[in-house]
Structure 1
C-alpha cells in the first residue's frame, strides 16, 4: 500500500516509517524539516502541496502523525496550532477522500483528556480511570483544543463520506525529560509512568501499523494507546491513597528492585489510562509494560525504553541552527 506519513522526521516517524516499509508498504514521508524518511518538505496546512503529493505519489492511505505539540506552545501563536493541527488535518482527510482512499489514521493525544480537575489530582472516588468514553473532554490548552477539533473533523468526514478512520490517542512516548516534573526525573519517572500513562515509541509505531491494517474493520473509532496497567478499575480508590501497596500486590519485588537502583515508586497515582479497546478491536497490546522494567532491573539488562534528556524535535534543531548562522 502506498502510504503518506506526515511527521516523518519526528520521533514517532523515525520508528514508524521503517516499520511500515518492512511490512511491505511504500512510504512517502512529509514533514516541515528534512529527515531520513522524508521525501516531501512542506506543511500540511498547504492544501496545494497536500493535493499534489497525493496525486504524484499515488497515495492509497494516510497516517497523519505530524503536529504542533504541547512544548511548541511557548514558540508559536495559537493561530499556528489551528493552521497545522486543524486545517492541516482537514486538508489531508479531504484529499484522502478525493483520492478514493479507504482509510485514514490520525495520531491524537491523551493530553486532550486531561481537564483542569484531572490535572489537579485524583477525584473523591480515587484515581481517574480514563478510557475512550471518559467525559466531559475539556482540553486545558491550545494543543489539546486543536487536537480535539481535528478528531471531530475526522469523524465528520467519516460520517459524510464513509472513509475508515482510526483516531489514536497516544500516551507519553517522547524520550526527553518531563517539562513539569523534576522529582523523580529521568529514567525513574519514565519507569513509573509505564504503570499508568506511558508507552514506548516502538509500541506506538506497532499500534499504528496494526490500526492501518485493521482500518476497514474499525470503521471509525477512537483508541487510547498506553502500556497495559497492572491494576483493575476497582483499585482506583486505593491507588489514590497508597499506590505502593497496590503495586506490591501485583509486583511483590518492585520496591526492592527500585531501592537497589536508588529509585522511588509513586506514593499515589491519580490517573490510569486504559488501552484495552485497542486490544479488543484490532489486536494491539503494548509489548513493553512496567513488568518489563522490573525484568530489566532484575536481570541487569538495558531498560526497555529510550531516555534522552538532550532530545529536541527536528523543527527546534532547525530553528537553533538557523539562529547560529
Structure 2
C-alpha cells in the first residue's frame, strides 16, 4: 500500500518507516521538520497541503503519528494543540474518506486516561487501567486534544465506515522524564517497564499490526504498553510495597538492581493492562521487565533506548529557525 506516515521525522517515525518498507509498503513521510524518512515538509493542520499529498502520492492508507506532545505544553499555546492534534486529525480523516480508504491508524496516548485524581495517586490501591476504564477526564490540553481526535476517529468509522485503530501508547521516549528526576533516567525507564512503558521498537511493530488488521477489526482502541507481570488482585499491595511484589515475581531483581546501583519502586500508583491488543490483534511484545532482567544478568546492553540529551527534530527546527513549527 501507499501509506502516509505523519510525524515521520520523530522518534517513532524513524523506527516505523523502515518497518513499513520492509513489509512492502510505499511510505510517504510528512513532518514539519526534516528527517531521513520525511518526503514532505508540511503541517497536518494545513488542509491544502494534505490534499496535495494525497493526490500527488496516491495515498491509500494513513498512520497518523504526528502531534504536539505533553512536553510541548510549555512551548506552545493551547490553540496550537487544537490546530495540530484536532484539526490536523480531522483533515486526514476527511481526506482518507474522500480517497475511499479502508484503514486509518491513529497514535494516541495513555496520558489522556489520567485524571488529576489518578495523577495524585491518593487511593489505597494502584489504579488498574484498561480500555474500559473511565470516565476519561484528561488533565491537560495534550490529553484533551488527543481524546478529541480519538472521538473523531470513532465518528468517521460510524458515519463513513472508515476502519480506524487507535493505539494508546505508553511511554517510549528516549529522553529523561520532564517532571521526575528520581530515580535517574535508565533506572526510571527500567521500573516503568513493569506498568507503563514499552520500547519504541514494540510501538512501531504495534502500528504494523494495526495497519494489517484494521479492515478485520473495523474500529478498536488498544492500550500499547509492555505486558505487566502483575495481577489485579495485587493492586493494593503495589500501592503499599511494590518492591515486595516485584521480588515475589522476580526473586533476583533486588540483587540485580543493587549491583547496578538502581532502586526498585517503593510503590506503584497505576498499571496499564495491554491484554486486549495481545488477545484481539494477536500482538506479541518483544520486550518487558523480564527481558530487562535477562540483560542485567548477562551484562548485556539494556533493551530500551535512553538518551538524556535527545531533542526532537521538531524542537531543533523551532529553535534553529526561531519560529513555531509543529509535528
TM-score (normalizing by structure 1): 0.98
Whether the 8 Å contact between 1:122 and 1:240 is mirrored in structure 2 is: no
* Cα deviations by residue, 1:104-124 (Å, 9 ceiling, x for unpaired): 000000000110011001523
Which structure carries more relative contact order (alpha carbon 8 Å, separation 6+)? 2
Aligned counterpart, 1:183:
182
Per-residue deviation, 1:283: 1.2
User: Would you say how many aligned residue pairs link Structure 1 and Structure 2?
Assistant: 323
Aligned counterpart, 2:169:
170
Separation in structure 1 between the aligned mates of residue 26 and residue 318 of structure 2, nearest angstrom:
30
Task: Give the secondary structure class of the aligned counterpart of 1:5.
Answer: strand
Separation in structure 2 between the aligned mates of residue 223 and residue 67 of structure 1, nearest angstrom:
18
Aligned counterpart, 1:218:
217
Task: Give the secondary structure class of the aligned counterpart of 2:11.
Answer: coil
Aligned counterpart, 1:208:
207
* Cα deviations by residue, 1:215-269 (Å, 9 ceiling, x for unpaired): 1111111000000000011111111111111111110100000000000000111
Aligned counterpart, 2:16:
16
**Consecutive unaligned residues in structure 2, runs of 5 or more:** none
Separation in structure 2 between the aligned mates of residue 33 and residue 152 of structure 1, nearest angstrom:
27
CA change 1:117–1:232 in 2 (3 A) is same
Task: Give the secondary structure class of the aligned counterpart of 1:12.
Answer: helix
Per-residue deviation, 1:294: 0.6
Aligned counterpart, 1:127:
126
Match status 1:5 vs 2:8: no
**Consecutive unaligned residues in structure 1, runs of 5 or more:** none
Whether the 8 Å contact between 1:122 and 1:271 is mirrored in structure 2 is: no
Give the aligned CA root-mean-square deviation in angstroms.
1.0
Aligned counterpart, 2:273:
274
Separation in structure 1 between the aligned mates of residue 301 and residue 118 of structure 2, nearest angstrom:
33
* Cα deviations by residue, 1:78-118 (Å, 9 ceiling, x for unpaired): 10000000000000011001001000000000000110011
Per-residue deviation, 1:209: 0.2
Per-residue deviation, 1:286: 1.6
Per-residue deviation, 1:322: 2.3
Match status 1:26 vs 2:26: yes
Per-residue deviation, 1:131: 0.2
Separation in structure 2 between the aligned mates of residue 87 and residue 299 of structure 1, nearest angstrom:
48
Per-residue deviation, 1:315: 1.3
Task: Give the secondary structure class of the aligned counterpart of 1:167.
Answer: strand
* Cα deviations by residue, 1:146-187 (Å, 9 ceiling, x for unpaired): 000000011001100001000000000000000111110110
Aligned counterpart, 1:115:
115
Per-residue deviation, 1:323: 4.5
Higher mean alpha-carbon deviation, 283-292 vs 126-135, is at 283-292
Whether the 8 Å contact between 1:227 and 1:285 is mirrored in structure 2 is: no
Whether the 8 Å contact between 1:197 and 1:273 is mirrored in structure 2 is: yes
Per-residue deviation, 1:285: 2.5
Whether the 8 Å contact between 1:122 and 1:128 is mirrored in structure 2 is: no
Aligned counterpart, 2:70:
70
Match status 1:295 vs 2:279: no
Separation in structure 2 between the aligned mates of residue 137 and residue 321 of structure 1, nearest angstrom:
37
How is 1:136-151 mapped onto 2 (pairs within 5 angstroms)?
A: 136-151=135-150
Separation in structure 1 between the aligned mates of residue 60 and residue 151 of structure 2, nearest angstrom:
22
Per-residue deviation, 1:320: 2.3
Aligned counterpart, 1:261:
260
Separation in structure 2 between the aligned mates of residue 87 and residue 285 of structure 1, nearest angstrom:
33
Per-residue deviation, 1:56: 1.1
Separation in structure 2 between the aligned mates of residue 239 and residue 71 of structure 1, nearest angstrom:
28
Aligned counterpart, 1:160:
159
